Amino acid sequence: MSTLSAIVAGVTYRSRNGAVEALSGVTLDVASGEVVVALGASGCGKSTLLGLFAGFVAPTAGQVLIDGVPVTGPGPDRAVVFQDDALMPWLSAEDNVAFGLRLRGVGRAERQQVARDLLRDVGLDGFAGHAISEMSGGMRQRVGLARALAVSPRFLLMDEPLGALDELTRERMQMLLLHLWQASGKGIFLITHSIEEALFLATELVLMSPRPGRIVQRYRPDFARRFLAGEPIRAIKGDPQFLAMREDLAATILAGDEEYARHG
Amino acid sequence: MDKTARGHGWATLATLCLLLALWWGVTASGLVAPLFLPGPGAVAARLADLARHGFVGASLLQHAGASLARVGLAMIFAVVTAIPVGMAMGLWPRVNAALDPVIEFYRPVPPLAYLPLIVIWFGIGEATKVILITMAIFAPLAIATASGVRRVDPDRVRAARSLGASRDQVVWLVIFPSALPDILTGLRIALGVGWSTLVAAELVAASRGLGFMVQSASQMLVTDVVVAGILLIAVIALVLELLLRWVERRFAGWSGTR
Ligand SMILES: Nc1ncnc2c1ncn2[C@@H]1O[C@H](COP(=O)(O)OP(=O)(O)O)[C@@H](O)[C@H]1O
Ligand SMILES: [Mg+2]
């Protein structure tokens, strides 16, 4: 068990044209075995929050801890998956997956073995030698996921990992993600701006709002567990309870927008 | 070029044939005297003769070899200096602020303009020519390297850091390969600049080399050697260009596909 915590964390970016309060007073735990999903429009600080957890960004207020110890920088206990794959296009799929192992000096044969097993786990059996440029967006995201899993992180941090995918690929990836999560029990922090995706994947869902970026609502959906217990994805997403929550979320977001429009 | 040019090779070939026919026409008809422009046949014969007997004290191979050795040496010097300097400029804004003005100051100056100064400092020996070409290659290569480094996707760097990469690993396993396509393109352009500068420099101060050969032939009014020399200079430039394109495809073929 491990927990990644943001405690009344804030981030203010300072640039030549003034300061932007990207995040303010955010308190959030990501524990092993949980899928914490941040939902919100662009600019509400989701990536900044992920950057805090990943150690790319230092908090200007509050604290970010991993099992009580301050996070001081990025590390392989918190592997990141990006929307725009961020792969190394000069390496084959297999070498991309093995990249983190190569960094820590794992031998070639062992790297290869791990990479091939992981490529199989993400549904890319037989694509080990393929060039990244020959792969579709969905396949690249799978490679990115396998690369993150290869370093055996305690947490997976995912910034809109499915944002660039078409509807069908996206749903397939959602299911893959839940299966991998079930098999590994890792703590997952995932960003999306799809309400449906957030509801389906999250064990804890936080709704964020901009200027300054903060958490405005928290939900505890159980659709991910129902899916893993065997309920079909279409049945879940068509379930009146799911639809009601989706509408409620959409209404909350809309109300927030109107509030914002009225008071600036 | 690759994709657009393929399948249209006939157009290139047609232009070449047309030019050759035109050249042959104006010379064979006597419209232009051989002193001003010898015919293709005469030039071809002269090329064969040059290959066998050489010109002004050196074989054709020695002339071409002298030019190629100078440009090759300069290229090695430029690669081992300009690439690290460009990397440092791209990685650290402070280094960039220190060096960029110097490079931008001398870059637009035609190398032949500072050749006289280098001749005063280093004489008219080999060193002068190699230094001149190195300087001509250095600036564009350093600038291309620095901009390639700056263009690296920050998420790619973050990904590597979150996988546990040290600073050095980020530089050599992520930033350098990411910038390699830009570096190789810079090298190809720089080499073209270097080659033309070299040949021009040999017109001024040399006792061997293709530029020197053309220059002395011109003074002796041996026009067929002048034309043969120019063609040779062009062909070598083309071969160097194609060679570096091959290197680009081989080592940076992944870029441009995405
Ligand atoms: N490096 C930065 N410098 C200055 N402002 C930034 C920087 N990164 C993000 N911001 C600003 O902070 C706010 C939150 O950004 P971000 O965390 O990327 O939001 P999201 O991921 O939800 O779209 C935005 O207003 C954005 O413009
Ligand atoms: Mg974002």
Q: CA B45, CA B39: separation in Å to the nearest integer?
A: 10
**Could you read off the pLDDT of B165-195 as tens digits, one per residue?**
999 999 999 999 999 999 999 999 998 888 9
Mean pLDDT score across all residues of chain B = 89
Say which of A56, A103, A132 has its CB closest to residue B163. A103
Q: Which amino acid would we find at residue A160?
A: E
The crossing angle, in degrees rounded to 10, of helices B223-252 and B210-219 is 160
Q: Give the distance (Å) from ligand 1 centre to CA of residue A142.
A: 26
A206 has a chain B CB within 8 A of its CB: no
**Could you read off the pLDDT of B9-62 as tens digits, one per residue?**
899 899 999 999 999 998 888 888 888 888 888 889 988 888 888 888 888 889
Average of per-residue pLDDT across A40-48: 92
Contact A78 B163 (CB under 8 A): no
Mean pLDDT score across all residues of chain A = 92
Return the percentage of chain A with pLDDT > 70, whole number.
98
Q: By CA distance, what is B157's nearest residue in A? A: A86
User: How many domains does chain B fold into?
Assistant: 1
Residues of B in contact with A78 (CB under 8 A): 162
For residue A196, give both structure tokens: 């449906």
- Verify whether ligand 1 is closer than 6 Å to residue A17 (CB atom): no
Q: Distance (Å) from the C-alpha of residue A228 to the closest C-alpha of chain B?
A: 29
Contact A82 B159 (CB under 8 A): yes
Instruction: Residue B43: name the closest of B24, B21, B68 by CA.
Output: B24
What Cα–Cα distance (Å) separates residue B150 from each residue in A31, B91, B103, B153, B154? 37, 7, 17, 9, 9
Number of CB pairs, chain A paired with chain B, less than 8 A apart: 74
Contact B254 A90 (CB under 8 A): yes
Say which of B158, B164, B178 has its CB closest to residue A104. B164
**Which of A16, A47, A190, A191 to mutate for ligand 1's pocket (most ligand atoms within 8 Å of CB)?**
A47
CB neighbour class for B160 (10 Å; exposed up to 12, middle 13-18, buried from 19): buried
Q: CA B212, CA B223: separation in Å to the nearest integer?
A: 14
- Tell me the longest C-alpha to C-alpha distance in chain A: 62
Write the CATH number for B57.
1.10.3720.10
Q: Give the distance (Å) from ligand 1 centre to CA of residue A15.
A: 12
Using alpha carbons only, what angle is made at residue B225 by residues B223 and B229, rounded to the nearest 5 degrees? 120
Q: CA A52, CA B207: separation in Å to the nearest integer?
A: 66
Q: Phi, psi (5° rounding) for residue A88? A: -100, 100
Contact B164 A76 (CB under 8 A): yes
For residue A246, give both structure tokens: 């989706």
Predicted local distance difference test score (pLDDT) of residue B97:
94
Contact A104 B161 (CB under 8 A): no
Q: CA B162, CA A76: separation in Å to the nearest integer?
A: 5
Average of per-residue pLDDT across A146-174: 91
- Verify whether ligand 1 is closer than 6 Å to residue A15 (CB atom): yes
Which atom of ligand 1 is nearest to A191's Cα? Answer: 21
Average of per-residue pLDDT across B107-115: 88
Q: CA B181, CA B211: separation in Å to the nearest integer?
A: 31
- Verify whether ligand 1 is closer than 6 Å to residue A20 (CB atom): yes
The residue segments making up the domain with residue B217 are: 39-252
Does any domain span residue B131?
A: yes
Instruction: Residue A78: name the closest of A145, A157, A7 by CA.
Output: A157
Predicted local distance difference test score (pLDDT) of residue A264:
55
Report, at the CATH architecture level, how domain A3-77+155-263 is classified: 3-Layer(aba) Sandwich (3.40)
Contact A88 B156 (CB under 8 A): yes
pTM for the model: 0.87
Q: If you ran DSSP here, which 8-state letter would residue A219 be given?
A: E
**Which of A11, A15, A20 to mutate for ligand 1's pocket (most ligand atoms within 8 Å of CB)?**
A20
Instruction: Tell me which residue has tokens 């997976």.
Output: A156
Q: CA A44, CA B63: separation in Å to the nearest integer?
A: 67
- Verify whether ligand 1 is closer than 6 Å to residue A209 (CB atom): no
Instruction: Residue A25: name the closest of A9, A2, A45 by CA.
Output: A9
Q: Distance (Å) from the C-alpha of residue B5 to the closest C-alpha of chain A?
A: 22
Does any domain span residue B257?
A: no
Q: Is A156 helix (H, G, I), strand (E, B) or coil?
A: strand
CB neighbour class for B191 (10 Å; exposed up to 12, middle 13-18, buried from 19): buried
Q: CA A141, CA A173: separation in Å to the nearest integer?
A: 9
Sorting pLDDT into bands at 50, 70 and 90, what band is B257? very low
CB neighbour class for B1 (10 Å; exposed up to 12, middle 13-18, buried from 19): exposed
Q: Distance (Å) from the C-alpha of residue B142 to the closest C-alpha of chain A?
A: 22
Sorting pLDDT into bands at 50, 70 and 90, what band is A262? low
End-to-end alpha-carbon separation of chain B, Å? 16
A45 has a chain B CB within 8 A of its CB: no
Does any domain span residue B29?
A: no
Average of per-residue pLDDT across A70-99: 94
Q: Distance (Å) from the C-alpha of residue A122 to the closest C-alpha of chain B?
A: 19
Does any domain span residue B20?
A: no
Average of per-residue pLDDT across A9-26: 91
Residues of B in contact with A73 (CB under 8 A): 161
Q: Check pLDDT > 50 for residue B258.
A: no
CB A38 within 8 A of CB A206: yes
Q: Which ipTM did the prediction report? A: 0.90
Q: CA A262, CA B14: separation in Å to the nearest integer?
A: 70
Instruction: Tell me which residue has tokens 């943001």.
Output: A6
Average of per-residue pLDDT across A82-95: 93
B167 has a chain A CB within 8 A of its CB: no
Q: Check pLDDT > 70 for residue B133.
A: yes
> Across-strand partners of A155?
A78, A187
CB neighbour class for A216 (10 Å; exposed up to 12, middle 13-18, buried from 19): middle
B2 has a chain A CB within 8 A of its CB: no
Predicted local distance difference test score (pLDDT) of residue B124:
80
Predicted local distance difference test score (pLDDT) of residue B75:
92
Does any domain span residue B87?
A: yes
Q: Distance (Å) from the C-alpha of residue A226 to the closest C-alpha of chain B?
A: 32
Strands A3-15 and A35-39, sheet pairing: unpaired
Q: Check pLDDT > 50 for residue A185.
A: yes
Q: Give the distance (Å) from ligand 2 centre to CA of residue A163.
A: 10
Q: Check pLDDT > 50 for residue A100.
A: yes
Sorting pLDDT into bands at 50, 70 and 90, what band is A260? low
